[in-house]
Amino acid sequence: MTPHEKAKRELERLAPVAGNGLLHRRAFLRGGATLAGAMSAYRLVPSASAQKLADDPWSLAPGAAVPDYGVRSRFENKVVRTLSNPKAEPRTQHARTPHHLLNGTFTPNALHFVISHAGDPDIDPDKHRLVIHGLVKQPLVFTLDTLSRYPMVSRMAFVECGGNSAPMFSNEPIQASVQALHGLVSCSEWTGVPLSSLLEEAGIDAKAKWIVAEGADAPHLSRSVPLAKALDDAMIALYQNGERVMPGNGYPMRLLLPGWEGNMNIKWVRRLQVTDQPGMTFYEARTYAPILPGGKAYRFYFIQEVKSFITHPSPGLALSGPGFYEISGIAYSGNGRISKVMVSADGGQTWAQAALQGPVHSKAFTRFRVPWRWDGGPVVLQSRAWDEAGNMQPTRSELVAARGQTARPPAVTGFPSQHYNAITSWAIERGGEVRNVYA
Ligand SMILES: Nc1nc2c(c(=O)[nH]1)N[C@H]1C(S)=C(S)[C@@H](COP(=O)(O)O)O[C@H]1N2
Ligand SMILES: [Mo]
């Protein structure tokens, strides 16, 4: 017996920790590299062929010139955002992140989701100004240059639209990819100036309770932010994953409110008015005041609550037959760090604890993984996350009971509710196809 065959046999003997073949999160670590390697033994070509590597053209001659700004391999050109309004008709544009084609915890800048209500303005950074005024002792005007002289901080943070995953409120499960269902959330390392240092310099009046932030794009999108958040971990972000913020994400500067509703993270921010009350601006009085089944509404819904979804496997990524797989996905919470993720393969009857990829950052994506042996039968995969504040991701029926749902397609009506953070269920059928189901 070769070491590979031996490892393969050991793997087959591993007792599952939950229904339908979920294995202990450290099954592969415990067994060491051999066990992990045995997973691939199912697909490796016989070792005899390892002797003869073909010399393809790229191995026989010098390669291309190194570009001054790198671009990915041309073989990766299908990894793209999906666009809701590619002709830039005068309405909102959405670009959704392809979570099923990415891995790790950061979203590449070119694939960060975008929602722009009137396109991306082409801002000359030398002409852009940020004004702080209102209930302050000394109104201030900043250029990008003057801002760049302040001490900066870097932090990981996700941004999520309050309308992300809204299709999950439909009566019948919509058959679409994780990109279409959950693509309005992304995660970056943001670098910039803490808003508290700018507000302190301006001198906050004792009556001040809110700031109203305004963007430099044509709609001058405005949102009110409680002063406490502005002084806590808010940032004027200048860099995204090490380079200047992308035009679609707010170049040359955006308001970053870690863990809070995407819409409040004002891009192309140009004004911060310190006030004693909220502005009740268009977006906070309309779209982002979710209406509840009894006719009441949330006046504000700041936090993006604890959430997770499985990215691998997911619709469009069919399984290629029974055997060993790693189930992996993304978890995050606007309340802090992810403390635990559980995964089920039997629609929520039994659960296995997933391994969390460290370091686990507050208000940022955490990748979770769990090894799995699929016997080829129908299963329903789910993930459920907890955060360090003790919040648990709700089931879909719990959330729908609290928030309501719609019978009509979203394109016609929009959904009655925002902030979907409940469990997502993927059914795997015999052939390995993955479908969105309500379990
Ligand atoms: N000025 C301005 N800020 C804006 C928007 C906008 O259209 N204009 N869109 C908002 C919405 S609805 C969301 S969800 C987030 C999205 O941030 P992103 O496009 O960087 O992912 O930005 C918010 N900030
Ligand atoms: Mo949004």
Say how many Å lie between the CA of residue 56 and the centre of ligand 1. Answer: 46
Q: Count other C-beta atoms under 10 Å from residue 99's C-beta.
A: 26
The percent of residues in the chain predicted with pLDDT above 90, rounded, is 81
Of residues 290 and 259, more confidence is placed in 259
User: For the domain that residue 334 is a member of, what is the CATH number?
Assistant: 2.60.40.650
In a domain, 272, yes or no: yes
Confidence at 412, pLDDT banded by 50, 70, 90: very low
Nearest residue to 193 via CA among 247, 264, 245, 117: 245
The answer on 143 and 258 residing in a single domain is yes
In a domain, 73, yes or no: no
Q: What is the pLDDT of residue 110?
A: 98
The answer on 227 and 137 residing in a single domain is yes
Whether the CB of 265 sits within 6 Å of ligand 1: yes
Whether the CB of 115 sits within 6 Å of ligand 1: yes
Confidence at 292, pLDDT banded by 50, 70, 90: confident
The answer on 283 and 343 residing in a single domain is no
Provide the edge-to-edge strand list for the sheet that holds 114-116: 82-83, 93-96, 114-116
Whether the CB of 364 sits within 6 Å of ligand 1: no
Whether the CB of 187 sits within 6 Å of ligand 1: no
pLDDT per residue as tens digits for the range 48-89: 566 788 899 999 999 999 999 999 999 999 999 999 999 999
Residue 406 pLDDT greater than 90, yes or no: no
Q: Residue 337's domain spans which residues? A: 307-437
Residue where one domain finishes, among candidates 259, 287, 315 = 287
Whether the CB of 263 sits within 6 Å of ligand 1: yes
Whether the CB of 417 sits within 6 Å of ligand 1: no
Residue 362 pLDDT greater than 80, yes or no: yes
Residue where one domain finishes, among candidates 224, 259, 287 = 287
In a domain, 228, yes or no: yes
Nearest residue to 194 via CA among 234, 222, 165: 234
Residue 414 pLDDT greater than 90, yes or no: no
Q: What is the pLDDT of residue 98?
A: 98
Number of domains in the chain: 2
Atom of ligand 1 nearest to the CA of 113: 21
pLDDT per residue as tens digits for the range 305-353: 999 999 999 999 999 999 999 999 999 999 999 999 999 999 999 999 9
The answer on 149 and 280 residing in a single domain is yes
Q: What is the pLDDT of residue 413?
A: 44
The answer on 326 and 406 residing in a single domain is yes
The answer on 143 and 282 residing in a single domain is yes
Of residues 406 and 54, more confidence is placed in 54
For 200, the enclosing helix (H) or strand (E) is helix 195-202
Of residues 114 and 51, more confidence is placed in 114
The answer on 181 and 256 residing in a single domain is yes
Angle (deg, nearest 10), helices 3-13 and 27-41 = 120
Confidence at 41, pLDDT banded by 50, 70, 90: low
The answer on 246 and 182 residing in a single domain is yes
In a domain, 269, yes or no: yes
1-10, 132-141, 207-216, 313-322: segment of lowest average pLDDT: 1-10
CA–CA separation, 274 vs 213, rounded Å? Answer: 9
The answer on 350 and 261 residing in a single domain is no
pTM for the model:
0.95
Q: What is the pLDDT of residue 311?
A: 98
Name the residue of 114, 116, 241 to mutate for ligand 1: max ligand atoms within 8 A of Cβ. 116
Say how many Å lie between the CA of residue 97 and the centre of ligand 2. Answer: 14
Q: How many helices (H) and strands (E) does the chain have?
A: 9, 22
CA–CA separation, 329 vs 344, rounded Å? Answer: 13
Confidence at 9, pLDDT banded by 50, 70, 90: confident
The answer on 196 and 154 residing in a single domain is yes
CA–CA separation, 56 vs 35, rounded Å? Answer: 32
Name the residue of 114, 184, 265 to mutate for ligand 1: max ligand atoms within 8 A of Cβ. 265
Answer yes or no: are the C-beta atoms of 311 and 100 closer than 8 Å.
Answer: yes
Residue 300: partners with Cβ closer than 8 Å, 6 or more residues away:
278, 284, 288, 289
1-5, 136-140, 239-243, 273-277: segment of lowest average pLDDT: 1-5
Residue where one domain finishes, among candidates 218, 253, 287 = 287
The answer on 343 and 258 residing in a single domain is no
Whether the CB of 215 sits within 6 Å of ligand 1: yes
In a domain, 162, yes or no: yes
Closest ligand to residue 221's CA? 1
DSSP letter at 334 equals T
Q: What is the pLDDT of residue 298?
A: 85
Q: Can you read off the two tokens belonging to residue 163?
A: 């309308």
In a domain, 125, yes or no: no
In a domain, 178, yes or no: yes
pLDDT per residue as tens digits for the range 172-188: 999 999 999 999 999 99
CA–CA separation, 181 vs 163, rounded Å? Answer: 10
The answer on 243 and 140 residing in a single domain is yes
Q: What is the pLDDT of residue 211?
A: 98
Q: What is the pLDDT of residue 83?
A: 98
In a domain, 224, yes or no: yes
Phi-psi region of 417 (alpha: psi -120 to 50; beta: other; left: phi over 0): beta
Whether the CB of 340 sits within 6 Å of ligand 1: no
